Amino acid sequence: MPEDGRIELNQTTLKFDSHLLLRPTNLTIPTGAKVLIAGPSGIGKSSLLNLIAGRLNPSSGSITVGGQTPRPTSVTYITQSATSLEAPFGTI
């Protein structure tokens, strides 16, 4: 990935079946910015992170990280589930 790690969502939406989880969204997060994603359970916080990480594809619009479409192998984040860390790394 280029050194510019800016994250951009351009009219990005996410649907599951007929449920619109993310309305058309435009968002730019500058390189190095610290961002808090907060909300009640089930609101779509993890889905948004999965979109940014390339683990989900948007229903419409686009997402870029450093000017490129994210792929699961190009963006890394650790979920809040401790079980995802136990198998390969042992107990934390």
Phi, psi of 33 (to 5 degrees): -70, 150
Domain range summary for the chain, segments of one domain joined by +:
7-89
Residue type, 2: P
CATH topology of domain 7-89: Rossmann fold (3.40.50)
Give the residues across from 13 on adjacent strands.
60
Q: pLDDT digit string (tens) for 33-79?
A: 999 999 999 888 989 999 999 999 999 999 999 999 998 877 666 66
Q: Is 6 exposed, middle or buried (0-12, 13-18, 19+ CB in 10 A)?
A: middle
42 or 91, which is more confident: 42
